[in-house]
Amino acid sequence: MTDQPIAATAREVERSEKRERRFLFSAWHLVLIPIAIAMLIPLVWMLVTSVQTLNETRQYPPTLVPHTVQWQNYSDVLRLAPFGQWFLNTMIVTVTVVIANLLLCSLAGYAFARIKFFGREVVFILVLATLMIPFQVVMIPTFLIVRKLGLIDTLGALIVPNLASAFGIFLLRQFFRTLPVELEEAARIDGASRLGVLFKIVLPLSGPALATLAVITFLWTWNDFLWPLITIYSPSHFTLQLGLTTFQGAHQTATNLLMAANVMSIIPVLVLFFVAQRYFIRGIATTGLK
Amino acid sequence: MQVRRALESDHVAGWALAFPAVFLIVVFGIVPIVWSAIMSFQRTNLLAPPVWVGLENYRALPKDPLFKTAVTHSIIYTVLFVPLSVAGGLVTAVALNRKIRGVRFYRTAVFVPVVVSTIATAIMFLWLFDPNFGLANWLLGKVGLGPYGFFDSVNGALYSIVGMTVWGWIGFDVIIYLAALQGIPQELVEAAEIDGAGKWGLFRSVTVPLLGPATLFLVVWSTINALQLFDEVFFLTRGGPGTATYVVVFYLYELAFSQGIAGYAAAIAYVLFAAILVLTIVQLLIGKRTVYYAS
């Protein structure tokens, strides 16, 4: 209790320091302002162009401030191409893949972390080995397997091979191993089943790891291009990335519409980024640095 | 008896939980790895039954001028992309790792491109780098440079892709470096300051060495990614103009899926894999001798 006032004073000092720092102009701004501008120009220019008239996009020097804001470009895009359908397809694929990964990688990750079963080490090493193989090596046979399964040109081609990932198993296994094993043992003694322990004790404690896996899987699946390019041919089964590519081919000269379409394709990941920024950053930091 | 049953149930439980994911990884990971190795010794077009040709595919590689072109471009791209993105990421992260006004805004500006897809990035830059109406040429014109053809020019297309991908990836490097910077013990920095280290000395002799593991990871990771460049080339230039941006994975894709020369493409994939493996091992060995691990 006696350290309460000291803590309070420390907090006050900290707060006043913070106030001071906030208004301090640092030489580092001279480094950061140009970097921020360089990073933002492409994005801002896309936004500006997306509300320009077609005429304005064909002016040189460029029209930096549009005379009118032509929101109609966005509805035009939706009228010209089935972006709604593509959005839906991408959503179906991404959400299914994320949920399946959370479930299957949790099950496997838990088995690898906590259960001693025959062949565990060998199987785990095999799983890890697939992480190191570039996608191009497995791409052609995977295509043939998916074709054998009759999944070519269906959303199944995008979903089935990605239902579980070596990355997810590895990430969750590592996280599960950091949890105190005593809790699980106590529950087992009280008669809980393996699945009961996993779902009632381990997973509720694994929120951050699960969120990280969800966010990273979402990003990878949403943005994937090469695999959908190989396996999907019908426009009605396109993902957003494929749709964008064909839309670009068909409306090369309508830059304002192209930018509007692009903005719409980015918004979902951007929203997710702002909602789950913490997990994005943790996810990226943990993919590399353990 | 009791013990044995418990053991057995552990085997059953372990396999039951691991099986669904492991099965999928075997079917869509392990089997393709082996299959693709077999395929690289065959002549196959993905439709007709394959013919065994031994090492023929691998022997043909050094004599293939387009393969040489693709390798050269992949190397040029990697040699430029890796140092630019890693060094740029380091400088940006060091600048961002302090409590100054607006730092949140700067961080967000740097991070956002990481979540934007390669295709969306390419569409943005296609417009930004438009030779006739593009903002880039207009801005460069203000300082007396250009105009450039960017993706349309034989000499500039590959460099334009370098610039664009550095923009898209630098946030990734910054995130890794920021995480590493936050792990630097404050005592070390203070000790160096007491010993009279200047700002630059501190950066060079304390910060950079302590970031060694992060740098090593980023170099390895960026090299792997750079050698696998595809989306941007496919979307923006299709390897052109001419063969100015022909890179290894684009060539592989063209062979397998446009021309149906899958066996040869599989051989290229394995050569790529071997190159990545060797480079990674070399980088890790160099790292082992030079990188300082604090813990």
Q: Compare CB distances from B115 to A36, A62, A269 and report the shortest one's residue.
A: A269
One domain, residues A191 and A51: no
What does the pLDDT read at residue B191? 86
Tell me what the mean pLDDT of segment A251-265 comes to: 91
One domain, residues A205 and A230: yes
What does the pLDDT read at residue A31? 87
What does the pLDDT read at residue A14? 58
One domain, residues A84 and A177: yes
pLDDT tens sequence across B244-283: 999 999 999 999 988 989 999 999 999 999 999 899 889 9
What does the pLDDT read at residue A2? 42
pLDDT band at A17 (very low <50, low <70, confident <90, very high): low
pLDDT band at A1 (very low <50, low <70, confident <90, very high): very low
Provide the chain A residues 28-67 that lie in CB contact (below 8 A) with chain B: 28-29, 31-32, 35-36, 38-43, 45-46, 49, 57-62
One domain, residues A41 and A72: yes
One domain, residues A181 and A169: yes
**Which of A52, A78, A104 finishes a domain?**
A78
One domain, residues A109 and A50: no
pLDDT tens sequence across A144-189: 999 999 999 999 999 999 999 999 999 899 889 888 888 888 988 8
Q: Compare CB distances from A21 to B99, B114, B115 and report the shortest one's residue.
A: B99
Decide if A135 touches B, using CB distance below 8 A. Answer: yes
Q: Compare CB distances from A107 to B17, B27, B214 and report the shortest one's residue.
A: B17
What's the predicted TM-score (pTM) here? 0.87
Dist CA A95 CA A24 (whole Å): 45
One domain, residues A236 and A162: yes
Residue contact B119–A244, C-beta within 8 A = yes
pLDDT at A70 over 60: yes
Q: Which CATH number belongs to the domain containing residue A98 in this structure?
A: 1.10.3720.10
What does the pLDDT read at residue A133? 84
What does the pLDDT read at residue A289? 40
Three-class secondary structure of residue B186 per DSSP: helix
Question: How many domains in chain A?
Answer: 2
Domain with CATH 1.10.3720.10 in chain B: 64-290
| Contact yes or no for A260/A244 (Cβ under 8 A) | no
| Contact yes or no for B286/A154 (Cβ under 8 A) | no
pLDDT tens sequence across A178-236: 888 888 889 888 888 888 899 999 999 998 889 889 988 998 999 999 999 999 999 99
One domain, residues A145 and A175: yes
Whether omega before B147 lies within 30 degrees of 0, making that bond cis, reads yes
Domain ranges, residue A44: 3-78
One domain, residues A110 and A238: yes
One domain, residues A98 and A72: no
**Which of A27, A54, A78 finishes a domain?**
A78
Fill in the DSSP letter of residue B52: E
Residue contact A130–B95, C-beta within 8 A = no
Which of A102 and B288 is assigned the larger pLDDT? A102
Dist CA B70 CA B152 (whole Å): 18
For B182, half-sphere exposure in the C-beta direction (CA atoms, 13 angstrom radius) is 11
What does the pLDDT read at residue B146? 75
Dist CA A142 CA A175 (whole Å): 30
Name the residue type at position B23.
F
Tell me what the mean pLDDT of segment A37-48 comes to: 95
Nearest-10 Cα torsion for B225, B227, B232, B237: 170
**Which of A38, A59, A78 finishes a domain?**
A78
What does the pLDDT read at residue A3? 46
| Contact yes or no for B42/A144 (Cβ under 8 A) | no
Decide if B131 touches A, using CB distance below 8 A. Answer: no
Name the residue type at position A36.
A
Contacts of A60 in chain B (CB under 8 A): 132-133, 138
pLDDT band at A290 (very low <50, low <70, confident <90, very high): very low
Dist CA A221 CA A29 (whole Å): 36
What does the pLDDT read at residue B249? 94
One domain, residues A279 and A163: yes
pLDDT at A5 over 80: no
Decide if A166 touches B, using CB distance below 8 A. Answer: yes
Decide if A189 touches B, using CB distance below 8 A. Answer: no
Residue contact A145–B28, C-beta within 8 A = yes
What does the pLDDT read at residue B8? 55
Per-residue pLDDT of chain B (295 residues; tens, 9 = 90+): 455 555 457 888 899 999 999 999 999 999 999 999 999 999 988 888 889 999 999 999 999 999 999 999 999 999 999 999 999 999 999 999 888 888 889 999 999 998 899 999 999 999 999 998 899 999 999 998 978 999 999 999 999 999 999 999 999 999 889 888 888 888 888 888 888 878 888 888 888 888 888 898 899 889 989 999 999 999 999 998 999 999 999 999 999 988 989 999 999 999 999 999 899 889 988 888 888 776 5
Nearest CA in chain A to B19: A108
B64-290, which class in CATH? mainly alpha
Mean pLDDT of chain A: 87
One domain, residues A73 and A91: no
